[in-house]
Amino acid sequence: MAVGQAGGSRLGGGGSRTATVTAAMGAGTEPAEARRDASEGRVYLDHNATTPLAPEAAQAVRDAMCQAWGNPSSSHPAGRKAKELIGSARESLARMVGGRPEDIVFTSGGTEANNMVIHTARRHFHESQARLGDSWGTPHIVTSSVEHDSIRLPLEQLVKESLAETTFVPVSPRSGRAEVDDVFAAIRPTTCLVSIMLANNETGVIMPVTELSQRVHALNQRRAAEGLPRILVHTDAAQMIGKGRVDVQELGVDYLTIVGHKFYGPRIGALYVRGPGTTTPLHPMLFGGGQERSFRPGTENTPMIAGLGQAAELVSKNWEAYEAHMRDVRDYLEARLEASFGKQRIHLNSHFTGSKRLCNTSNFSILGPGLQGRRVLSHCKMLLASVGAACHSEKGDRPSSILLSCGIPYDVAQNALRLSVGRDTTRADVDLVVQDLVQAVAQLDQDQAL
């Protein structure tokens, strides 16, 4: 639930540190929205919900609108220019994730990409069954209990319509992860897809996708000999890209979802497919003019694709600097919280023994009665943040199901705040935010005592 308006990555604070880090990362100047709203003194720490458009990406969008307005399917110079721009962006996305340009299919966003994978897995299961003349039954899909709604809800709908069976593997309360052994325990002869996110949007916990892919690959070799369907492996990398290393060769996945607005790009996305239509199946959900090799037809949105490509270039060149900076600021935030409120009053909901987490994410609760996350944020004067995933904003004071799945007690989860720093968040911003939280909690404590 986002409180306030997210006008930019950093709407308050600053100092020389920002200039130094920005110069080192080549990130350019702050977005216009950030400069325009700076006088409000607001600090935006909701980068897991969305990020502002990088100036370079915004310029790429504008340039494409003015200079590459032709239909990419047209053979004249205006069309060829647009087509070349799309090809260049495809190369940039492939470079960012360690794949080949032909492995990238542009989509409207992460939701479409995730739905396309689920659709493909079902189609491939039935086509393989028909080709082999076997009768395996209903396709089965394995996922985790903490996935984004664009995975969970399509699967629940398929189950409701008796078109698929699904196992939602609980995450371990010790690690916050969907453990590989637990995922494998859920696999059946009819399993056709395993989809596990690369990093969780609320806790920041990074899932063991590489190990999972390796074991599924070995299992598939045995299943082929037994005449059982291939298990496809998908990961939604929306939260990881731009915050850590993402390499599809290391991950070993068949599909990987890319979401532009999570890494300072425009609100479109892409799907990485390891050899679409050859090595790995891919079935369209739409039918039309044959664009994107007919996997995703519809006249291409050249300006947004150009912006996405530019955002990908920034990630490829600077992700290590981005990661180091965001981790430093996030760790400073958690240290300041404990120093200001006392360690006994701060519960770090995203700390799990033995698990790695996103460099920018801090999920914590300020303990005490009447300090529900929504109430704390409503009393903040500078902080713009969330109590959890933005798509769950209508759920009121009910605790996050993801935190409850991770073993966080109900009363602690109810007080949760998710702060996610960005590329240009500074320690000065953190100082302002912590002061803001202290005054908000003091006001609520006073109200509680009356």
Unique residue bearing structure tokens 């037809």: 297
Burial 294-315 (b: 16+ CB within 10 A, else e): ebbbeebbbbbbbbbbbbbbbb
Q: What is the dihedral of CA 97, 100, 102, 107, to 10 degrees?
A: 0
**What are the φ and ψ backbone dihedral angles of 201, each rounded to 5 degrees?**
-75, -20
Sign of CA dihedral 83, 89, 93, 96: positive
Q: Tokens in use for 79? A: 């069309």
- 391 belongs to the catalytic site: yes
Phi, psi (deg, nearest 5) at residue 192:
-120, -15
Token pair recorded at residue 389: 């995933």
* DSSP count for the chain of H helices, then E strands: 14, 12
83's enclosing H/E stretch is helix 77-97
| Rounded Cα gap, residues 246 and 237, in angstroms | 8
Q: Check: CB of residue 45 under 8 Å from CB of residue 361.
A: no
Look at the chain and count its residues: 450
Residue 268: count other Cβ atoms within 10 Å of its Cβ.
22
Quick one: which of 291, 294, 241, 272 has its CA closest to 103?
272
| Tokens 């609520």 sit on residue | 444
Single out the catalytic residue among 66, 192, 380, 391: 391
Catalytic residues: 391
